[in-house]
Structure formats: structure tokens, C-alpha cells
Structure 1
Amino acid sequence: MDIPFFHFLLHLLLLIPTINSLDFIFNSFNTTTKNLTLTNDTRIESPVIRMTNDSNQFSLGRFFYPSKIPITSFSTSFIFSILPQNPNSPGFGLAFFLCNTSSPPGAIASQYFGLFTNAVIPTVFPLIAVEFDTGRNPEFNDHDNNHIGIDLNNIESKKQTPAGYYNSTGKFESVQMNSGENVRAWIEFDGKSFEINVTVAPIGVSKPLKPTLSYKDPNISNYLSPEMFVGFSASKTNWIEAQRVLAWSFSDSGTAKELNTTNLPVFKRGSSNSLSGKAIAGIVVGCFVLVCFSLFVLYFVWCKRRRNEEDDDDVEEWEMEYWPHRFSYEELCIATKDFHNEKLIGYLAPEIANVAAPTSASDVYSFGVVLLEVACGRRPLEAMVVDEEVVLIDWVRELYARGCVVEAADSRMKGEYDVGDMEMVLKLGLACCHPEPNRRPTMKEVVALLLGEDVADAPGKVLSDLARGDDNGGGGGELDEEAPLQSSSPI
């Protein structure tokens, strides 16, 4: 059949009144809806039809009346909503189409509406689409990112115009199609004059008298078949855009039936159209758990603050000047393996056996043992050494008496230290371990010496006095015990 004869036959068909007219209306959609075919990623999300799948990067979908219908003249009306996840992302939109196949071969996603292959290769079958485009593609000569276009076998529109409507005074009012708001569209095709009129307006606005877009061209007949599928198609790529159809009416024998625009779901960015009973129950339970958790956290913070306030009451003067040097009960448990005797012997001051509770002086003694332990690299009590070196304090004190205390330094350091600093640390450890509690330095003096800060006396004199003790107060029997602590040279 050559093309001129086909055009003549089509004109004859257009002049013959339709005997079996088609007239249907869907005011909403659910899983029991009949007389619709959904393909690819299109699915029903009651009470609407969702065109694409957010989780599919190159998603496309279509739905249409399940059988071909005679194309003479027709009127159709529908309500749609387009809502991108990111308002600044490239848009896609959706299209109403007439095609002699329900699955155009080679159709791709992205900005091609799931209908076309690309701009330079037109389709080889009759295809007419009315695009409601929310993206601007310069390669298709799009004027903006919010327009309506007539596509004839090609993604590049034959005619396009910004989306909007003419009010009763004739003023053009813009309609932002990607706002998520429900938009109503009307499409009329006059098969006698080959004219397509497209009108859009927000819900609540009566159909304007003047169409948004009018396209009249006898060449439209080149893109029609005697029978064609009618329906909707949409696609996307990386960016998420929810394209929904809420209602649809169609008639090939007159004006499409009026759609019910009341109680329609509303879509806004960051929210769903409705909440189910389970969702509400989940929110209530979640809020209850959150409140309970918040109260628990507040109680924990309050208890910790009370404990810190109680501890602050016992802070000593030296701690205020430098910083608190206290260990928690848990830290002490770990260090002593639950206060095992083998871990405690060697750290306790001699007077602990005769007092009810530890004192600041006994704490200084224990610190002195730790100081010697770190400097010498060995425990307070060693079993695998000669008898003279079993007790760390006695061994260091003996070396001090012989004038060679630095020999007690940890041999693993291989002499990589300042001899003067090492000698000062070892002597300070011995001073902290003085047998008489009242002869030991205070922690304030110890910290000052370790930090190299000024104290009442020079560090050397403080250590020498602590080592020698008071000649008048030492007394007979204690003199021999203190003799090893006497410095043979200034520190």
C-alpha cells in the first residue's frame, strides 16, 4: 500500500462515525482496577499509578488501554503529579502517547520518556506524544525545564510552550509541574482538521477557555494508524522523580467525562501522601521509646554530675593547682587484677598495717614505688634475681648508698636518657618511699619537681633534705636506715 492511498483511507475512516465508541473513566486506581495494562516499572500504589521505580537507575514504565482503539477524534482528561526528590536535579516528566505498538522497539529511559530511541534516529512506526517535560535538554531544542510539547515520531518537539493556563481575563498563569501539586490536563484531537489542543491548570481551576497549546497540521495524518494504543509513559535516570497519574478519563465519541477532583492525595517533598494505621502505631511506639531513652540519659547525666560534685569535695590543694590525678575503682581493679595480693605487695606503705585507712602519705609511698618501677623497668618484687635485688626499693637504696644509683635505670633504654634527669627521678622515688610518713614529700612538691616548676626550695635541696632527714630528729637507730639515702654529691 503506497502512502497517498493510505492517507486517503485514513481520511475516510475519520469521516465515518464510530459505531462502537469507547468511553471510560478512572477516578482512582487500585489492585482490582481492570482494563489497564501496566508494563516495565509501572505499578499501582493505591490510589495512584506510579510510573517509575526509584531503585532502578534507568527506569521506564508505561500503562495503556489494553487494546487498540480506532483513531478518529478523541477527548481525554487526566490528573498527574511530578515530584523530584531534589528540586535542583534534572527533570524528566511524563507523556501521553498514541502508538501502533505497546512497546516501541529501542525505546530508552532518561529524557526519552521510555518512547524514543534518540534525537537523530526517528521511530519507524506511527507515534504521537504530548510531553509534559520538567527537564531542559538543549540538544532537543527545549526552551525551558517546564514546558508542554507535541512530538511526532521524534523526541524533538514540533511545537512547545511553557506550562500554564490563561485565566478569565486572558492573562497567562504559570503552572510549575514539578512541584508535586496535582495538575489537571485536557487533550482534544480533531481528526477532521488534524488539530491537537492541550490545556493544563491546577486542581480547583475550571477548564480554561483558551488552550495552553494548539497544534494544527495536516501532516499529523502521517503519524497516525487506523487503530492505536493510548496511554502514558515515563522514564528517569540517576535522579529520583516520582511521576504519578491519579485519574484518567477518555472518550472517542465526545467530551471525556468529568473527573472527581475531591479527596485526592497530596504529595509533598519529604512526606508521603498518607499514613497507615501501622505507620501511626509505629510512630507512637517510637516516640515512647525515644522519651524513655531520653529520661534514662538525663538520669545518668544527673547521677554522674552528683558523683563528680561529691568527688570535688575531696580534691586536695595540689590537685587544684595542677590537675586531678585520681584513678577510678574500675581502673584500679584492672591494674591489680581485682586487688590480688601478688599485685598489691610492694606498693603498700609500711604504716598501712597500723592504720585504719590509707592516707595522703601512703599514697605518696605507692607513687614512689611506681616511679621506681617505671625508671628501673622491673616490678616491686622480683623472684628471678639474686636475694639482694628481690625488693626493688632496697636494691635502689643500696645503689644510692654506693653512689651509683643511675645503675638501677632500665637497661633496655641502652643509656638513651639524660643522666641528671634519671638520677633525679630515682632519688625522688626513694624520697617518696621514706619509711617515716611525715618525711615524705607532698604530691604538690612531687608534681612540681617532675614538671620542673619552681618550689619553695630548689629541687636539689628538697631531695637532699628528704634523703638525709633531720639529723636531730632521726635518732640513733634510724640513722643507719637513713644513711643510704644521704647524697654524696648535690643533685
Structure 2
Amino acid sequence: MRSPLFQQILLCVLVFPVLATSIDDDDFIFHGFRDATTNLSLNSGAEIMQGGLLKLTNNSMRQKGHAFFRLPLRFHANTTISSFSTTFVFAMVPTYPKLGGHGIAFTVSPSKDLPWSLPIQYFGLFNVTDVGSPSNHLFAVELDTIQNTEFGDIDDNHVGVDVNDLRSVDASTVGYYSSSDGFKNLSLVSGEPMQCWIEFDGARKRLNVTLAPLRAPKPRVPLLSSHVDLSDVVLDSAYVGFSSSTGRTTSDHYILGWSFRMNGEAREIDLSKLPALPRRGPKEKPKALTIGLPVILSFVVVAAITGVGFAAHRKVKFAEVFEDWELEYGMHRFAYKELYSATRGFQDRELLGVGGFGRVYKGMLRASNAAIAVKRVPHDSRQDVREFIAETASIGQLRHRHIVRLLGYCRREGELLLVYDYMPNGSLDKLLFDESKTMTLGWKQRLRIIKDVASGLLYLHEECGQVVLHRDIKPSNILLDGEMRARLGDFGLARLYDHGTEPQTTTHVIGTFGYLAPELTKTRKANTATDVFAFGVFVLEVVCGRRPIAPIDESEMGLLLVEWVLLHWMRGTVVETVDANLHGDYAAEEVELVLKLGLLCSHPKADERPKMRQVMRLLDGEMPLPDVSVNRMNASARCKGYDELMVSPDNGPTQYSIDTESLLSGSCC
């Protein structure tokens, strides 16, 4: 029989670790890691310090560190991806102030070793050859302190959502939404501990990432809320943990506490039980404070008196409007002072253009050295700004290679400022029709632009969380990036509705004359088919180099572009409609297919138009063009709808929206 003393010793050995941590296979919490060596798998530079801090990397250059929970977790229930929730407290202490390197990533990985991975910009997750490969089956949320242009980082202080790649599918500058003060910036390399919450809803495929200072309550509005489908990314059996790396600049990367739960909300971390960060050493008091303190104080008093008036002036100059309801939408809000500085005070020399409802300026964010386009949109307080902000926030969640990204906004008295990615090559409209243009687009470029826009429309109609109707597809709303790839911009007339539902009927016909489907005059209801119609007109415009309603020649003055191309199709001379600036440098078969596709998309009957997925397959050569009879595309069906639009008293000669739903109208970059 065991002695009472032996039983007490055994009880202490078994129970003491549980006092520090609570462990289950899919629900665990660590208040420090002093007794977690058997529950964590550490490799590379990761170690548990004497006080219980988990140190992922030290101040050595080009180092990586991994710390994973010891057992793999099951991430699939039947055929669906499971939900999970985690929260952790971390700190990054840079070797040199404000110079981080490179950061920390919460990771769901098929392996807990990752021996092939590299440090520096690869975060200890990937290497040169496998980054971006679907076979990685790796998901991460990165806390990144270095701006890597090869991965499209937005700045050197951001949170990014990574799926098999370090080119984030969504990202935001680090900060949090305070219930009283709106958005407040945070610095990852401040050396101060912060708390992060990551919550994934498997059923809704929704990922929320939230940050806050250590003692602040969890914000109601997440920093990021992204639609992410991990069903085919995360394997059924995977490990959860952290990866970290350094480069030429270094930081000590710490995890102070960690809580995780599968299919439920992670337990709250008790901050009072967390280990303390190492002291960074006392600083010697500068001699100036002891010798010249009276002189310094006198200068301070004078400066304070002088600065009162200046501060009051600046307060008025940079005053913003903020209301509590804006927090509901979680869209990044820029400070007006930041945008004023980025655009050099909105000087005329930074003016990119004037759209239907605002002036657009080029800017350069000083913190990240990122080029932006800022649109200043006047607004009347009587307009429904709240509805506009809600829809703009939804559009701001769109992420696609061929969609101009809305980065955020700012509100002032009497105006809204909308911030976009800057497109250095401007609008397609200028390259097609500006008499002062310095270059002519070749056929291969035009075909690629058409495919890019089709890809962006397919995403809007079928591949994002809601159906997004653009409602104003035309060359002036197609922007070209530095690689001459097309991006669909200006979502001022866009409308969103859930998949499987019907869009609402509108009071006015919304859009631009020449691109409006004939049925809009009767139904007043936009849908994906009306977007396809506008896309068809756009295709003809790009190939022919002609406006949709400009006179063709004296003998055909009354014909619209689509009718003119149709007439040539009937005559068997459709290739003769190609832009003369191409000088015959194209494949006739390709041109004929694209022209006929444009006519098919702009068919007068909505149910005859293809879906955008079919359009993409046709452009990629994956299916043949349907055999469409010319007689079924007679011009009279087109003209009837246009005639009604031209006499409608509601509509102006070009664009038909005059209320809040058109606030973003015009070229955005």
C-alpha cells in the first residue's frame, strides 16, 4: 500500500501542469508555456524561456522558428470543413527601434516540421519553388513587419490572410476599431504585447481577424472579415501553431499565451497569469535634462503658447466626420491628414481626372510608400450616406486579380474620400480614343484585356459571396495596371444581392447609354444578363475602335455599333469592322470569333445571351461558338429599346443616375 506522502507527491506531479495549462485534443489553453514542453513541438530557433515565454526567434539574422501543438487535429466533419477559433497574446521586440523582421504567422499546416522552408520573407512556411503551389495545403494569418513587393504587401505593418501563398488574399494595415474613437493604428514592432483573435466559420466560409492592445477589450468590429474557402486547402489531419522568421533586420518574437478550440469559441486568456516580457534595460538620463532643464522649460512654454493658434487651425483643416454606426461595417478608414499629405494637399499637378461625381488624385502613402488614387466625392447630408457606406464596405471586400481594389475611405463635412489602388496606365478609354495617345494597343493586348474583364465579371457574378452587378461596364471604367492587365473599376452603380434571389426593380434606368440592354426600358431590373449585354458592346468597341453610338459613315449614320457589326456579319464581311489602327496585324479567325461573341453577348433577347462562365470558356477555346442565326439577331429589336431610352424624361444624354447610388460614378483612377 502506497504511503500518504507518496500519494501527495504523485498528486502534485499530475495536477501541477494542469494549473498552468488546460489541454484537450481540440480545445486547449496555455497561460504561459513553462509546463508546455510535452504539449508543443518546437524546432529551428523556437524555445521556451525560463519564465514561460515562448520565444520563436531571437535577434539572430535569417532565422526561423516553429511551435506547433503536439497532435494533429481533424479539420473535416463528413464533407465540410470544421470551424475553429483561436486567440493568442504576442509581442515583437525589434533589435533596432521601428525596424522589424519579419514577423509571426498563425499557421494550419499538414506538417509540424516544415524542414524545406526558408526564413526572411518566406516566414518559415515556404521556399522559392513551392510558394503559391496548391499542393502546400497550408493556411496562415501573417503579422508582417516588412513590405515585400514580390508578394504585393500593402505596407510594412499589416495583417495578411495567406492560402498556399504569401501573396495574401486579403490584408489590412494593423489597427483596431475602438467603440469610442473609431479606427486606431497599432505598430507591430512597438515592443508591447497585443492580443489577436482568429475565427473561422466553416459553414459560411468566413474568416474574422481582430487585434487589440493587451488590456483593451475585444473590439466588436474585426480588422479583417474575409470570404475564404478552406475546404480544399486544409487537409483532414493538420497541425496548428506558429511560424516566425527574421532577415537582415531582426526581432525577438514572443507568444505569451494561446487558446484554441475546434467548433467553438476559444476560451478567454487570463491576462493576469501571463509571463512578463524581458526588461529592455534602463536608459541613462540625458545630461541635457539635468543641466539645461530650466532653459528647455522656458522654450516649451513659449512654444506651447505659439502653438495653440496653429493647433486650432490644423484641427479645423483636418476635421473629419465620424458616427458610431460606421464601426458596423469594418471598412478601413484613412485619416484625412494622411490622404492630404499623400496627395500633396490635393494639388492640381496630382489630379488624374474628373469623373462624373468627383475629382481623382494620385497619392503616395508615406508610411508604406504605396501609390494610391483618392477620389473626392461631394455629398449632401440629406443623402443616405449610411446605405452608401454599407454597400461600399461590401464592395471593399472584393478581391480579384482583375478588380480594382477599394482600400478604404474617409469622411469629412460635405464630402467622401475613397481610396483605391493606383493604376499607372490609366483607363482603357484613353488608349482607345484619346487623340493625344502615345501608343496603339495591338491585337494580342486587346484580346488579353477582353479576357481580363471577362474573368473579373465571372468573379462578380458567380465566385464571390454575393452576386455583384456592375451596371456600368465601359472602357472608361476599365483600368490598366503596370503590366497592362485590365481591372474592372468604378463600382458606383453596383448592386449586390444573394445567390439564388432576384435583384430589386429600380425607379430609374441606371447606366450609360449605348451599353443598356433593351429590356431595361420595361423591367427596370438589372441582372447578370444586362451586365453581359454591356460586356458584349464593350467587346465590339475594343475590337472595332469605335464608340457604341458614334456615326459610322454617311451612308450608315443611324446605325449603332452593334447594328453595324451585325450588318457586316450578314454580308459576310465582319472582319472589315476591325480597328484600322491594327493594320491587319491579327488572326482573322480570332477576330471573327471575338466579334461574333460580342454580338451574341449583346443579343436583344436576354435568355439568348451566354453566362460569363460560358464566355470565358469560349475565349479560352474550351468550347465552340454556338451556331446563332443572323435572323434571330435583327436590329429592330435593339432599336426599340434604345428609342424608348432616348425619349425618357428621366434620363440625360449619357449617364442616368442622379442619386446616392451613383456617388462613385466616373473613372476611379
TM-score with structure 2 length normalisation? 0.36
- Considering fraction of residues, name the structure with more helix: 1
Q: Which has the larger radius of gyration?
A: 1
Q: Name the structure, 1 or 2, with higher relative contact order (CA <8 Å, separation 6+).
A: 1
